[in-house]
């Protein structure tokens, strides 16, 4: 069936009910994504016929993950793998370990991966995984057993040409090494391309650890140029000081910007004179907390949003910028390092205030871009230098930002809407050309 359906089909109402596995009274993070799709639908033209494709994940796998704990008892954990869309290529997306992971969250994350990959024109669809576990409460051996059992359970649907997991919240190169080894043992051959974000010794890519934070910097710097904001001395506030936030802080600092506030799960610090990200990281590793860093003052969690800054980078979890704090934000520019940190109503408020938002599906696409480089290198068994990786990443991010900014200006919309116009058009064009089988 194409976009030229019989009149009767065109006249039908296309308002489908929510899937039964979602609670209409508490949809969760997926509700943010659904609203974003609704907002972009008027710009899709005839492709709007296929818009339900974007609202419903292609495949959802919920698995039980039982393991022996170190004390000899058996524990069961809930695991997910969602493949949102594979119209443009295999699913691609991370795996997070967090005690509050839900199906709705993983669905939203997988959908944002679909948009993100299409926005920077990578040949992937969107996927995501997660396990409901607080990794701080378990030993290294227990986490290895959780990872191996989870990988075995989702092994039915992952693979180098089907679905390629990667690190996310509370997972990293070691987790990916266990996943790769488990999958390889189960298929009887070494399959380095089944995951990305691996250690270098197992086919990982140089530049991968900083890639997401570097992409945040590149898109943020491009936005600052468009807005006439100088980099030298620009005041940056960062929420989240993990892999993404730390790398973004370090690279902005290296280019002359001033980090004036950092917030993470342990607290919030502020300094008008600027914070050295390297010193902050060393302090965090030594003491286990960001607070009490010499030369800084501690702020309350809510005070972070009112800090005087030019650029705000939310690089923690979703739903951080809400109607309760958006009006306090003083930054001219928000660069979303996290996935889904701004709820749609807060997005509207920021736009009304004249705040430019570089959305997550563009700003944090550096990670999946270098994951794509890793995947390509694994297939070819030919590896690039870190300088080559960074140059390729910077070019893709700058070109994507420039073309999407042009769409923003042409339609007179926010940058988020512009990204969704381009990305959803690409996905739905692929869906329409492929048609429905059977």
Alpha helix stretches (DSSP H) within 326-385? 344-352, 360-363, 366-380
Query: Is 226 labeled as catalytic in the residue annotation?
Result: no
The pair of three-digit structure tokens given for residue 340, joined into one six-digit string:
């889904």
> What letter would DSSP give residue 18?
P
Torsion sign (Cα): 338, 341, 344, 350: negative
Exposed/middle/buried for 76, CB within 10 Å: 0-12, 13-18, 19+? exposed
* Topology annotation, domain 29-189: Rossmann fold (3.40.50)
Backbone dihedral angles phi then psi of residue 211, each to the nearest 5 degrees: -60, -45
**Helix-strand-coil percent breakdown of the chain, rounded to 5?**
45, 15, 35
Strand ranges for 327-431 from DSSP E: 333-335, 356-358
d(CA 281, CA 295): 14
Q: Of the listed 58, 128, 289, 330, which one is catalytic?
A: 128
User: pLDDT tens-digit profile of 393-408?
Assistant: 999 999 999 999 999 9
d(CA 118, CA 39): 18
Place of tokens 């309350």: 300
Residue 75: CB atoms within 10 Å = 15
pLDDT on residue 10: 40
Residues of the chain predicted below pLDDT 50: 1-14
The pair of three-digit structure tokens given for residue 46, joined into one six-digit string:
């005839």
Parse the chain into domains and list their residue ranges.
29-189, 210-354
Among residues 86, 90, 59, 97, which one has the least CA distance to residue 194? Answer: 90
pLDDT on residue 192: 97
d(CA 406, CA 408): 5
**Known binding residues:** 92, 116, 212, 243, 371
| Domain 29-189 identical in fold to domain 210-354 | yes
Q: How far apart are the first and last CA of the chain?
A: 10
pLDDT on residue 16: 72
pLDDT on residue 15: 58
Sheet harboring 91-98: ordered strands across?
59-68, 74-85, 125-132, 91-98, 163-167
Cis previous bond, 198, omega within 30: no
* Topology annotation, domain 210-354: Rossmann fold (3.40.50)
**Residue length, the chain?**
438
Backbone dihedral angles phi then psi of residue 342, each to the nearest 5 degrees: -115, 120
Q: Which residues contact 403 (CB under 8 A, 6 or more apart)?
A: 422
Residue 59: CB atoms within 10 Å = 15
Strand ranges for 195-354 from DSSP E: 235-239, 258-264, 267-270, 297-299, 311-314, 333-335
């Amino acid at each position: 069936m194409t976009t030229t359906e019989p009149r009767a089909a065109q006249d039908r109402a296309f308002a489908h009910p929510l899937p039964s596995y979602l609670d209409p009274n508490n949809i969760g993070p997926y509700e943010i994504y659904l609203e974003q799709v609704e907002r972009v639908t008027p710009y899709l033209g005839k492709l709007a016929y296929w818009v339900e494709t974007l609202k419903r994940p292609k495949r959802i796998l919920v698995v039980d993950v039982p393991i022996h704990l170190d004390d000899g008892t058996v524990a069961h954990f809930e695991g997910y793998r969602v493949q949102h869309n594979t119209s443009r290529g295999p699913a691609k997306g991370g795996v997070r370990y967090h005690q509050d992971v839900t199906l709705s969250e993983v669905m939203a994350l997988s959908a944002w991966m679909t948009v993100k990959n299409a926005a920077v024109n990578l040949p992937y669809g969107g996927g995501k995984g997660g396990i409901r576990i607080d990794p701080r409460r378990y030993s290294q051996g227990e986490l290895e057993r959780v990872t191996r059992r989870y990988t075995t359970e989702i092994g039915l649907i992952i693979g180098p040409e089907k679905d390629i997991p990667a690190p996310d919240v509370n997972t990293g190169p070691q987790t990916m090494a266990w996943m790769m080894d488990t999958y390889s043992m189960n298929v009887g051959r070494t399959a380095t391309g089944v995951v990305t974000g691996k250690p270098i010794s197992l086919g990982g890519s140089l530049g991968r650890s900083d890639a997401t934070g570097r992409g945040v910097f590149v898109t943020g710097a491009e936005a600052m140029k468009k807005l006439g904001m100088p980099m030298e001395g620009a005041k940056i506030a960062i929420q989240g000081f993990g892999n993404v936030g730390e790398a973004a802080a370090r690279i902005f600092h290296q280019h002359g910007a001033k980090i004036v506030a950092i917030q993470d799960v342990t607290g919030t610090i502020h300094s008008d004179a600027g914070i050295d990200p390297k010193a902050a990281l060393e302090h965090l590793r030594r003491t286990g907390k960001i607070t009490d860093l010499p030369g800084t003052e501690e702020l309350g969690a809510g005070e972070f949003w009112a800090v005087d800054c030019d650029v705000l980078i939310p690089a923690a979890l979703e739903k951080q910028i809400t109607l309760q704090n958006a009006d306090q934000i003083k930054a001219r520019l928000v660069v979303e390092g996290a996935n889904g940190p701004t709820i749609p109503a807060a997005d509207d408020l920021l736009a009304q205030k004249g705040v430019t938002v570089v959305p997550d599906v563009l700003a944090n696409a550096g990670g999946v871009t270098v994951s794509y480089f890793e995947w390509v290198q694994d297939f070819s068994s030919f590896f690039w230098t870190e300088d080559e990786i960074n140059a390729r990443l910077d070019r893709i991010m700058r070109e994507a930002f420039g073309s999407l900014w042009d769409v923003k200006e042409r339609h007179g919309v926010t940058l988020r809407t512009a990204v969704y116009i381009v990305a959803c058009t690409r996905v739905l064009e692929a869906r329409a050309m492929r048609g429905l089988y059977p």
